[in-house]
Chain A
Amino acid sequence: MPDTAASIKVSPTTNAGPPVIDLQQLSVTFGGRPILRELNGQLRGRAIGLLGPNGAGKTTLIHTLLGFHAPSSGTASLFGCDIRGDANQIKGLVGYMPERDAFIAKMSCVHFVRYLAELSGLPAAAALERAHEALFFVGLGEARYRNLDTFSLGMKQLAKLAQAIVHGPKLIFLDEPTNGLDPPARTRMIKMIREIRDSGEANIVLSSHLLRDVEECCEEIVILKDGRLVTYCNLEEERRANKKFLMLETRGDLKPFVSAVNGLDCEYAITGDHRVKLILQEQTEVRDIYRLAAQTNVQIRRLSYKRDSLEDIFLKAMENGSN
């Protein structure tokens, strides 16, 4: 009986089924120098952002999960397949867009994508059909018969994305996909990544040092520092957790207002002449604040939720990691 494409379903952000990536004390050492140190965690998001300063081990982690480097200790699994024992099966489930230029010279774009699709196991006719589809999907439909050597940097990035998705992988590793792209090209790339994510057919691991890219595409983030996993969080949950952190701009006498707020067991800090920061209790609603303001004759000119931005989370992780 012929092999068929693996039927593992991608996992939404739930705890059901095997995690997308399960890191179990994963360590990688090159020439005696530890690059990844005992990484642990179960990553389940549809789009996982891999963040970290240069040299943190992001690319090494991807390469290790792809089977390019052997772990020095520990292991990891993708969709329940162990990277040590089921490397071939894993490679059938993943697509990889490397950071560096990667193509075969003197080859047309459609030929290149079809060739790699065939190496993934697609029969020749299906590979050609899907190569055309993938190139139209990434926006290289008109240029698909041109040689890759003649492509601009942005077009090469798109060709790399096309080859990463041509065989319909369940997990796509994107290593700095927006590198070298101008703003419109970057926006297009981000849009495509979100489309793939929203299709629900593939999980994405996006490695980038550009926080904005990760913020726009990912729902979970992993932050690495010096080969250690310093933060793993769900961005949405993180934001929700900070929902009751309020910034107020007011007019009027603040003293009775803040003492009334204090009566609600809310912490406060006066940050300027008319500015107050409040941390609301679980049971306190925003309308209670309005009510107190009305009772104490204070005008609320502006009220905003102060959320932790990804930058805050990243910087916090860097600070904590250095302790």
Chain B
Amino acid sequence: MAVLERSYKPYVGRLSPQWSRFLIIPRDALRDVFRSKIFTGLFLLSFVWPLVCAILIYLHHNAAVLALWQLPLRDLVPIDASFFRLWIVVPQGYMGFFLAMLVAPSQVSRDLTNNALPLVLSRPFSRTDYVVGKMSIVIILLSAITWVPGLILFLLQSYLEGWSWFSQNIPIASAIFIGSLVWILLLALTTQAISAWVRWRLASRAVLLGVFFIPSIFSVVVNEIFRTEWGYLFDLQALIWNIWSGLFGQFQTQQTVIDTMGAEQIDPLSSSPPLWASWLVMFLICAACLALLSRKVKAYEVVK
């Protein structure tokens, strides 16, 4: 049909499947964010650390190089659950936080500022599609730098170490995937909720930093005042740290101390909240974010 044809015509062609339409939002947003050279540079930079880890894994299995450099690498950095947690999931998770901070704050706010939501929601596109679409921006972006390279490194290690290592350490792979996904979901929800309520981009970045770092200080104060460790339930970083530890099978609720007689005993004051408490609080935070989003993502706000 000629572009210059100027008359009104109905559309009679094929329609895209309803389920796939939410993907239009991240596709469009990602095309937009990758126009920024700074962001593209940072994104590429976030693959440097997994590359270093890949080299470490490779060196572990290269006896000739280890012998040549006389490196006790196997003792210094054993490739186990701790390696995947502390060397891959945690640093990549924090990198993801900063990428989400750059990308996410303007996503919902720019639609709300210019009243674009009635245009979007007057189409066969629900509020859920919209929220899922907006969250997908962070989910796709952060997946590419967290669990995807994590699982590739896991497979690399399995390939070099052998089938038996792979079958024995399957829980590590699931911990990488689930742990990263929980972190990504938390970031996606909090960034979108903040974006919906704080329309100025710089302010919403500041709020995001505040949400993740100020409660850490608050939790330390609570812990000191009440001589407990339950204050960590206010701390998002501590919560995710607990969840990661739990998934990698390294969560400890109680610490041991050496008493005056030199014997190991459980420190009653160091009793941390159980793992389920961290999951529960995490769930409540996500639910609160969804409730905040649901209040704002509407075609029109009814002012009472």
Contact = CB atoms under 8 A, between A and B. Distances in A.
Contacts of B18: 3, 88, 121
A90 B110 CA distance: 27
Interface string B116-145: 101111111110000000000000000000
B8 A201 contact: yes
Interface string B179-210: 00000000000000000000000000000000
A130 to B, nearest CB: 7
B7 A137 contact: yes
A63 B8 contact: no
B3 A121 contact: no
B37 interface: no
A197 to B, nearest CB: 9
Interface residues of A, number: 54
A103 interface: yes
B116 A103 contact: yes
- Chain B facing A: main interface SS: loop
A119 B125 contact: yes
B44 interface: no
Contact of A3 (B15, B28, B299): B15
Contacts, number: 147
Given A91-B125, A129-B3, A136-B4, A167 B11 contact: yes
B119 A3 contact: no
A130 B119 contact: no
Contacts of A102: 114-116, 118-119
A94 interface: yes
Given A5-B12, A120-B123, A199-B8, A96 B24 contact: no
A96 B15 contact: no
Given A118-B16, A160-B119, 6 more contacts: A91-B123, A116-B120, A119-B123, A136-B4, A168-B10, A199-B9
Interface of B: 1, 3-18, 21, 24, 28, 110-111, 113-116, 118-126, 298-300, 302, 304
28 contacts: A4-B12, A63-B299, A63-B300, A92-B124, A98-B115, A102-B114, A102-B116, A103-B115, A103-B119, A104-B110, A104-B111, A105-B114, A115-B24, A118-B21, A118-B24, A121-B18, A121-B124, A123-B15, A126-B13, A126-B14, A133-B3, A133-B9, A167-B11, A168-B9, A168-B10, A196-B8, A199-B7, A202-B10
